[in-house]
Amino acid sequence: MTRWPAFPYGVWVRLSLWLSVTVVAVLFGWGAWQRRWIADDGLIVLRTTRNMLAGNGPVFNAGERVEANTSTAWSYLMYLGGLISGPARLEYVALTFALLLSVLGIVLVMLGTARLYAPTLRGRQALLLPAGALVYIALPPARDFATSGLENGLVLAYLGLLWWMMVVWSQSLRSERTSGAFDLTLAVVAGFSVLVRPELALIGGLALVMMLIATKGWRRRALIVVAGGLLPVAYQIFRMGYYGLLFPGTALAKDATGAKWEQGFIYLANFNQPYLLWAPAVLLIGLAIMVMLLCGRPASVNRRAPAGSGWLARTVQSPSAVVVFMLVSGVLQAVYWIRQGGDFMHGRVLLTPLFCLIAPVSVIPLMLPDVRRMARGASYLYAGAAALLWFAVAGWALWAANSPGMGADATRVTYTGIVDERRFYAQATGHAHPLTAADYLDYPRMRAVLEAIENTPDGALLLPAGPYDMWDVVPAYPPPPDAPRDYIGPHTVFFTNLGMLGMNVGLDVRVIDQIGLANPLAAHTARIEDGRIGHDKNLFPDWAVAEGPFFKEEPYIPDYLDEDWIRQAEAALKCPDTEAVLNAIRAPMSPRRFLSNLIHAAEFTRYRIDRVPLYELARCGLPLPEPVNPPYAGMPAEGP
């Protein structure tokens, strides 16, 4: 069995480690609490949680199987929290889990790094001080997204746990052997990566490959494959059968396989510029070099590897290889997000690669001079240089922690499309800490939409109008003659901010967007090349009128809608391939439907429609409906 902590190396090492961990955890937790909030995207997750608790399944709108959340694990964690908390507001459940997991992540990564240095500290006088951990918690976006209701905290906790376990695994050939149960647990944790976030499969998959290389015997390799693949494969089968897609609907909506390199580098520069991130990068590299020079070759309790362990296996299952694994993982995550174009939220998606890159130096041993290992002058010189670098890191962290971030551009959508999301919503709602859906009622249009729904008991499609306190109403067809007196007609709201809207209206109200996060039609359109990152699909509202039980002609539709476009969209919805895609998520679930979706999931994922109804009709080879207003054909010819 592997025991933790394994520090019989001196009281100063133990005390400095736990003091460092405590100070960083308290600072991070306190800093995150000072900036606490729940993002609109965090409320999107909670709308799905409400549907799960109501028995409608993991969907955003009842009767329409759309996976509107990227993190499967976070969605089900919120559901579990909702079951346990009972009547407590789901926003507070999300806030609590996010904050606790964020702090847990920074603690685990520091303990993992301390474990990495453990063999070199045997018999040495040293202090374990936070370094990379200070860099991470000093960044305002790191503290912003330590709450936010999104899965960032879960990602930190997952990466911290994986790092700690990989370090323990890497040292087992040189000290205490890990048990078979530990190795299988590590395989499960590595395989779970794709359920935390899909792109984390690059990290978990690489960890599994390393384990397979280092493991002896095909039986043990088979056990690792089964342990690592059971949960993700089982959920993938469920996703394909239930949602009819190969990956989350959010990935389809944002075309996660697309490439926007130029925008990605703009996003990287936007993250780096306010905090001069190159400075701590240089300092941490210098500290890493000093640590290597001062620590020397790691001491080993048992250098005899098990019989049959080859050179490759021993190399892969080594502390050095695990450090390289984490650094490579960080680079891969950064490249993925830069290629994708980044995000519209300042810094958010680059926090994960940064966390991976700082992991091996999240804490560093500040070695006291040791004349037994080197000359007295050199010993004091190296120790002094390392101390100077650490104080420089601490100084930068203090400066960055008080940085204004994006400054005047924080709440303005400029050409970059990137904003400081927390400050944007704090300003727009008038709440320093917008935490609940009720806080977002002070966002433009929110109170007005509730009034519009209340004023249209027979049902309507609501479209955002010009003034911020108005909505355009397209009435629904009248109720049937035998409708009960308390009949409430169907309501659909077409709006970008799905979270605040979805959490402030009933689950009987269909909430869709033009981007495609909750609207399957919009999700299957092509990406607009010059659109704002993360919002680069834009379905015309004519489609929402066409597919619903709403009046489709003047004077019931707003002036900016075109009756001919609506008719064309209505005809285009009869395209057999489009009907098949929509039936996959709207038809009642049955074993036959599940199997059909499973078989056709790849085809449905690739399917795209044209956002212009006329072009969509041409693509499908469907006839053009008779125009409402025939085109002008000129003056009739005069008689003789």
Task: Count Cα neighbours of 270 within 13 Å in the Cβ-side half-sphere.
Answer: 31
**E strands, 527-577, in order:** none
Length reported for the chain: 640
Write out residues in the chain with pLDDT < 70, as ranges: 1-10, 87, 123-124, 173-176, 294-309, 368-380, 630-640
* Alpha-helix runs per DSSP H in 127-260: 132-138, 140-144, 152-170, 180-191, 193-196, 201-214, 218-243, 249-253
Q: What is the pLDDT of residue 259?
A: 83
- Tokens representing residue 547 in the block: 């597919």
Measured distance CA(124)–CA(13) in Å, rounded: 9
How many Å separate Cα 517 from the centre of its chain?
13
Q: Cα–Cα distances in Å, from 43 out to 29, 61, 89, 501?
A: 22, 14, 12, 9
Q: What is the pLDDT of residue 481?
A: 80
Edge-first strand order for the sheet with 471-475 is: 471-475, 460-464, 491-494, 509-512
What is the 8-class DSSP label of residue 61?
A: B
- Which residue type is seen at 151? E
Q: What are phi and psi of 456, to 5 degrees?
A: -125, 70
Measured distance CA(332)–CA(355) in Å, rounded: 13
